[in-house]
A and B are shown apart, each in its own frame.
Chain A
Amino acid sequence: MKTKKNILKSNAFQTILSSLLCILFGVIICYIVLLCINPAGANEAMTTILQNFLSASKANLRLKNFGSTLVKTAPLIMCGLSIQFCYKTGLFNIGAAGQYVVGAGISLYAALAWHLPWFVCLLLATVVGAVWGAIVGFLKAYRNVNEVISGIMLNWIGLYLVNMLTGNVKESTSPYTIPIKSESPQSLLPSLGLENLFGGNKYVGIAVPLAIIIAIVIYIIQQRTTLGYVLIATGYNKDAAKYAGMKGSKNIIITLIIGGALAGMGAGMYYLTGMEQWTTTSSSVPDMGFNGIAATFLGGLNPIGTVFAAYFIEHITLGGSKINLNVYPSQIADLMSAIIIYLCGFTLFFKYCINSYLRNKEERAARATVEVTKDDKAKEGGEGK
């Protein structure tokens, strides 16, 4: 009698295993691509990507680079959560990229033009992101517009609007917005002394801990509250949820408002650190929102998993920018995350393989036991005679 549960059977373990498989295949394919471009430096380039900050020579620099990776992880966690939250309700929030863009625009404008304190800027980013998400929600709930298409349209509209808006607060000689530090220091996110932990990297602040706390809050909402239950039920079966008295339209809008708020806030968390200025002539939507999709699916559609996956993706993205750019294009890391997202589509298949392997094994074991008991019975019968 085996009472010990096979670890392979647990859903969480299977999810982690299939995510790791996605990463493994992604790395292998990228390595092959590197080999094709230039075999001589492929090993070195791959180690650089995977090591990221660990490849720096000095301990202080390593900490500093680790800090930078974390600063970029915070907005990715938020975008990932935005997509995760919506996906659980059965909505694919590809508009997270646009919600992120408008959040970035308003937080920079509030900081540079109105000189507002950081929490007001962050709040504005959240609210504007939520409004952007709400548009998608309204169109979906009341006008039956596919959320993916309206999301993409709003991404581009948002990008051009933000370019227009930030055009008022740009440096006179460059297309970049004015650095927040010189114009309005009270708008920078406080660091709470965290910078000292990361070799004096002044961009590290409350963003990362805040993003992690929000991930935990989202987890609790989804697992332990009525709202989360209703939303997830809607995601499983819209019609059944409606039959059970849950309001479909309202749930769609609420979900996208929360999703938009998360993405918008993520943008505030990044641009209010002053690490990057907005390019007012941007002609493409920032990758952050799309990488959020990778983070969500790699994280096994779980808020806590998203945190780790987001870190991994930023880790390889920043690692990708450190390779020898004269030999290899910087898009290798993009390639790797795109392949990983693609492979995430096969997660179901991976799980199916694991389960059918287990089933086969069990059946074989069961057959063996049946035969053993038969023998025993035969023996017993023989003895009885």
Chain B
Amino acid sequence: MIPLIQYTLLFTSVLTLVALGGCYAEHSGVINLGLEGMMVMGAFGGALALKSFNASFASGSVPAVVVVLAAVICSMLSGMLYSCLLGVACINFKADQTLVGTALNMLATAVATIIAKTMNTIADPDNVSATISYVNAKKALLVYFGKFEFNWFMLIAVIALIIAYVVLYKTRFGLRLMACGEHPQAADSVGISVNRMRWSGVLISGMFGGLGGIVYITAGVSEWKFEYGVAGFGFLSLAVMIFGQWKPHLIAASAILFGLFRALSNVYTGFDFLKELNLPSTFYNMLPYIISLIVLAFTSMNSRAPKAEGIPYDKSAR
């Protein structure tokens, strides 16, 4: 039972973080389909940070908190940096957001793989894999309570959730951000810079996407092959966001549901009754995607998406 709870919490953290990222972008009026790519880039930045601490953390010369902070900051920065590509294309040049998002997903995997391979080959000419391993440094992320492995990222996800709720509903910035996603022309008419708000939305979403990426690749494994990207997790998070009606607290609730099903595929062998059902492991791999389709089919009808999302802001359309 403990592993199930542990994995559920981990995957819930990933989904919450990334879905919150999507939530900021969509409230500002930009559909961020490139979240998957931002996760990959964030994961890559974070993995490099962790890797650099492999030896020094094992020898005890660096405290755990430094390792955790370095991973968090590097992943956030690389996610944010990468989201600039989305911002430039979709906000300044009014490009098609769906197209650019998709391109960013493909680009991220290619870029991460190329850099990882190059670094590996430089370190060891026979190594042409795109795997980055962070076995030792990963231990810095964990705290043991009996058998339960507490991961600092779980706490970070909770903090991010609270901040998101406060920022979106209680601050001037958040309300202005949401105004730009609902009716940018009206927002502009009262002196809010729509482009600046949308840029903030995109950058914050890149930041959370990147953070979600590092959480995802450190969940359960201690090395990552960057050819594989993040297996549609960015899109699962978008499903979580839609199911959560673009509201932070509901997003967290729906992330728990999706996280549970995702965790099942990791740990179902530990349950006797699931084992006796004798379903192939592929079934459990499919489960989160099937559930999300069903859930979306029942919730999208009344969805309250930000009204102006996906439409480039055109001042002259006022």
Q: Which chain B residue shows the least CB distance to A345?
A: B95
Query: Given A145-B296, A153-B239, does the pair A326, B128 have CB atoms closer than 8 Å?
Result: yes
Number of B interface residues, CB 8 Å?
52
Residues of A within 8 A of B98 (CB): 92, 148
Residues of A within 8 A of B55 (CB): none
Query: Given A156-B286, A284-B231, A348-B95, does the pair A149, B107 have CB atoms closer than 8 Å?
Result: no
Residues of B within 8 A of A339 (CB): 103, 107
CA distance A283 to B290 in the complex (A): 17
Q: Which chain B residue shows the least CB distance to A135?
A: B293
Q: Are B106 and A341 in contact (CB under 8 A)?
A: yes
Q: Which chain B residue shows the least CB distance to A344?
A: B99
Residues of A within 8 A of B93 (CB): 345-346, 348-349
B204 within 8 A of A: no
B25 within 8 A of A: no
B117 within 8 A of A: yes
A241 within 8 A of B: no
Partner of B114, one of A33, A153, A164, A327: A33
CA distance A164 to B85 in the complex (A): 38
A293 within 8 A of B: yes
CA distance A363 to B90 in the complex (A): 30
Residues of A within 8 A of B285 (CB): 160
Residues of A within 8 A of B125 (CB): 326
Q: Are A342 and B107 in contact (CB under 8 A)?
A: yes
Q: Are B293 and A154 in contact (CB under 8 A)?
A: yes
Contact with B along A326-338 (1 / 0, CB 8 A): 1101011011011
Query: Given A290-B106, A348-B94, does the pair A341, B99 have CB atoms closer than 8 Å?
Result: yes
What total count of A-B pairs have CB within 8 Å? Answer: 142
Q: Are A153 and B229 in contact (CB under 8 A)?
A: no
Residues of B within 8 A of A150 (CB): 293, 296
What is the CB-to-nearest-CB distance from A287 to chain B, in angstroms, rounded to a whole number? 8
Q: Are A164 and B282 in contact (CB under 8 A)?
A: yes
Query: Given A37-B118, A338-B106, does the pair A153, B235 have CB atoms closer than 8 Å?
Result: yes
What is the CB-to-nearest-CB distance from A379 to chain B, in angstroms, rounded to a whole number? 43
Residues of A within 8 A of B109 (CB): 331, 334
Contact with A along B275-295 (1 / 0, CB 8 A): 000001011011001101100
A216 within 8 A of B: no
What is the CB-to-nearest-CB distance from B293 to chain A, in angstroms, rounded to a whole number? 5
Add 20 more A-B contacts to A156-B231, A290-B102, A334-B109 (CB < 8 A). Answer: A37-B114, A37-B118, A92-B99, A139-B293, A146-B296, A155-B232, A156-B289, A160-B283, A160-B286, A284-B227, A325-B128, A326-B125, A331-B110, A331-B113, A331-B227, A335-B107, A338-B106, A342-B100, A345-B100, A348-B94
Instruction: Please name 11 pairs of A and B residues whose Cβ atoms are closer than 8 Å in the assembled complex, sorted by A.
Output: A143-B296, A146-B242, A149-B235, A149-B292, A152-B235, A157-B293, A326-B125, A329-B130, A334-B113, A342-B107, A344-B103
